[in-house]
Structure 1
Amino acid sequence: MIEKGVESLWEEVREVSLGNSVDRLLSPPTSLQFLRDFVSQNKPCIISNAISHWPALSLWLNPSYLSTVLSSSLVSLHLTPHGNADALVPHPLHPSTLCFVSAHVQPTPFPQALDLICQPPDHLVSYLQQQNDCFRTEYGELESDCDDHIPWASDALGCHPEAVNLWIGNHLSETSFHKDHYENLYAVVSGEKHFLLLPPTDVHRMYIREYPAARYSYSEESEEFCLELEEPQRYVPWCSVNPYPPAGTEKQERSKFPLYFNGPKPFEVTVKAGEILYLPSMWFHYVRQSPGEGGCTIAVNYWYDMQFDIKYAYFNFLQSLPYRSTDSPKMPESECEVSGSHASPNHESAAKDVEANKECEEV
């Protein structure tokens, strides 16, 4: 049976390739070691002492330094009521169903944005997380505080990063499960990032379905959010699983998503200030964060283009398999109906798949 084979694959990938924990390197690898041991195997790792020379590690601990350097910068501040942008929330017209919501994005002077993050008011959660190469555009004055690329990664991957992004948030923001079609080098400068990771072979455990797209709209005058469906209507493929269900809903969530909760545990890693996480392309990840000395968590990530090679073909093949859980035989994983809409086929073209992920990308 396909079902038994897929479920065996989850365990075998861990036994043969990944092990039970994410490797930690005490020093940066050579480009050959990085390519051979991690990139080619699509295997994550955490690297220490790779950014110890960055001035950012000491300078950015002082919020006044950042506010002074970026005193005249207008930045894209993402606002949500609960810290749950790019996530699933109750549909504004049909609360028993879900929609995919994006944050309200507001151009804000950087010093004001940083104050809202470090001293959050009760009615909103602020996050600097614009994912459009923002570090080299909106935050260009800070570029000399970091490397413009990761040399051993660039050598191994044969290119420089397509985008470099800056992330500044607090403990209230979380990023829901998703995957990216990039090789991601994620460097933490202040605070800690807490990741749950699952390999691409676990795709059926994510219950990816299509949800109507919506967006928060925020009024400064009333200090209230409004949830608005996008027009024209658009649907976004997204992971349905929340690994941390709200209190009182755990039993219900476990029964809805048995493949996730009853299957192999996700890899749990904490990336501390001064460390880099290599997050391979197409790995599913959920992210929380803890603030550092300045009251916020700061990270810089480098997105390198992934190779659309045989690994991508294998993933698309696996994802396209009609799958019915042995735990929940009445709920086939390939079923993607949401509020009367039908998901696009799992074997969509690479271009469409990448575009969807660019529109939906955390964290």
Structure 2
Amino acid sequence: MAKEAIEEMLVTYHELNGDIEELHEDPSPLDLMRFVAKNRPFVVRGGCSTWPAMQKWNVDYLKKVMKDTPVKVAMTPHGNADSAVMNAVDGSICFAKPFEKYEAFTDFLDYLRSQDLREESLVKYSQTQNDNLRGEYMLLYKDLEPDIQFASIALQRKPDAINLWIGNSHSTTALYRDNYENIYCQILGSKDFVLLPPVETACVNEQFLSSATYSDTMEVTLDEPQVQVPCAIWDPDEPRKRSTEFSHLSRPIHVPIGPGDMLYLPACW
């Protein structure tokens, strides 16, 4: 009976909700609250296109401003930081965090740009989530808006954290969820999002996995002391692997965003 109820819930949800809404101007604070209440994402095409960074940022400018400032760099063999990985020792699945070290920003950026030419297997990615734009990337912070007005007014608070991610086509973010509202702003390049609503929790096969970390030789080593981390082990890009009896009812939403675009992602998506 429970199985049929979950199946009916998933089918009904997708019948009532299609693709996410695409806007071409900033929503009002009231409009945002309507999306928050419905727990539905939206894209604002060109939502951050007037920010100074859109006109200033390029390779030469970033190097000139950041120079050899040390930045924390994540390293994995497949661009799969913070993801479910097979443990080569016993074949179990663990939650693997990247190997991290500090590098001069110019060296890091040069590596990203030339990786395809050198066919390097090691993937590097700046992905710290510790408010790094007001920390190690503070020199670039002046080129961005300090907050997003419609969100600050609607939610009655300033951003808890403002983070900068820098990667290339080799870096991939594993399926995960945040328990708070997020707004992503694309400055350079593009990013393809694959979104699942919270109602699809039954599809993603979330399990508690042993925490692990890549070493500098890109081997996965279990952490000591051991910690259990909740992690989705099903991947919508490989729907037949590690699936549940409900995974076939998932309807992933593909959302590409390009320079100047803004994506609102509600809590728990």
Q: Is the shorter-chain TM-score for this pair beyond 0.5, marking a shared fold?
A: yes
Q: CA deviation at 1:257?
A: 3.4
More strand by share: 1
Stretches (4+) displaced over 6 A? none
Q: Counterpart of 1:132 in structure 2: which amino acid? A: N
1:53 aligns with 2:40: no
Contact 2:132–2:163 (Cα < 8 Å) also in 1: yes
Q: CA deviation at 1:59?
A: 1.7
Aligned-partner Cα distance in 1 for 2:114–2:55 = 21
Paired positions, count:
266
Q: CA deviation at 1:11?
A: 2.3
Q: CA deviation at 1:161?
A: 0.6
Aligned-partner Cα distance in 1 for 2:74–2:63 = 18
Provide the residue aligned with 1:25 in structure 2: 23
- Selected match of 2:230 from 234, 237, 245: 237
- Selected match of 2:266 from 252, 260, 280: 280
Contact 1:92–1:228 (Cα < 8 Å) also in 2: no
1:98 aligns with 2:85: no
Contact 1:136–1:143 (Cα < 8 Å) also in 2: yes
Gaps of 5+ in 1: 219-223, 284-363
Aligned-partner Cα distance in 2 for 1:170–1:200 = 28
Provide the residue aligned with 2:104 in structure 1: 109
Aligned-partner Cα distance in 1 for 2:33–2:15 = 21
Provide the residue aligned with 2:196 in structure 1: 198
- Selected match of 1:126 from 98, 120, 124: 124
CA change 1:23–1:113 in 2 (3 A) is same
Provide the residue aligned with 2:64 in structure 1: 68
Aligned-partner Cα distance in 1 for 2:31–2:60 = 40
RMSD: 1.5
Contact 2:183–2:265 (Cα < 8 Å) also in 1: yes
Contact 2:14–2:251 (Cα < 8 Å) also in 1: no
Contact 1:187–1:277 (Cα < 8 Å) also in 2: yes
Q: CA deviation at 1:57?
A: 1.2
Aligned-partner Cα distance in 2 for 1:109–1:2 = 54
Aligned-partner Cα distance in 2 for 1:157–1:281 = 13
Q: Deviations over 1:311-332 (max 9, x none)?
A: xxxxxxxxxxxxxxxxxxxxxx
Q: Give the 3-state SS of the residue equivalent to 1:166 in structure 2.
A: coil
Q: How does 1:262-277 map to 2 (within 5 A)?
A: 262-277=248-263
Q: Give the 3-state SS of the residue equivalent to 2:121 in structure 1.
A: coil
Aligned-partner Cα distance in 1 for 2:173–2:246 = 21
Q: Deviations over 1:65-94 (max 9, x none)?
A: 101100142111001111111111111421
Contact 1:28–1:49 (Cα < 8 Å) also in 2: no
Q: Give the 3-state SS of the residue equivalent to 1:162 in structure 2.
A: coil
Q: Counterpart of 1:117 in structure 2: which amino acid? A: L
Gaps of 5+ in 2: none
Q: CA deviation at 1:20?
A: 1.5
Q: Give the 3-state SS of the residue equivalent to 1:49 in structure 2.
A: coil
Aligned-partner Cα distance in 2 for 1:176–1:225 = 18
1:257 aligns with 2:250: no
Q: Give the 3-state SS of the residue equivalent to 2:38 in structure 1.
A: coil
Q: How does 1:298-309 map to 2 (within 5 A)?
A: none
Identity percentage over the alignment?
35
- Selected match of 1:163 from 161, 164, 167: 161
Provide the residue aligned with 2:179 in structure 1: 181
Contact 2:147–2:158 (Cα < 8 Å) also in 1: yes
Provide the residue aligned with 1:323 in structure 2: none
Aligned-partner Cα distance in 2 for 1:216–1:264 = 31
Q: Counterpart of 2:80 in structure 1: which amino acid? A: N
Q: Deviations over 1:189-214 (max 9, x none)?
A: 11111111111111111111011111
Q: Counterpart of 2:161 in structure 1: which amino acid? A: A
Q: CA deviation at 1:281?
A: 0.4
Contact 2:236–2:252 (Cα < 8 Å) also in 1: no
Aligned-partner Cα distance in 2 for 1:138–1:15 = 45
Q: Give the 3-state SS of the residue equivalent to 1:40 in structure 2.
A: helix
Aligned-partner Cα distance in 2 for 1:211–1:50 = 38
Aligned-partner Cα distance in 1 for 2:204–2:220 = 25
Q: Give the 3-state SS of the residue equivalent to 2:203 in structure 1.
A: helix
- Selected match of 1:213 from 187, 211, 223: 211
Aligned-partner Cα distance in 2 for 1:156–1:5 = 35
Q: Counterpart of 1:52 in structure 2: which amino acid? A: S
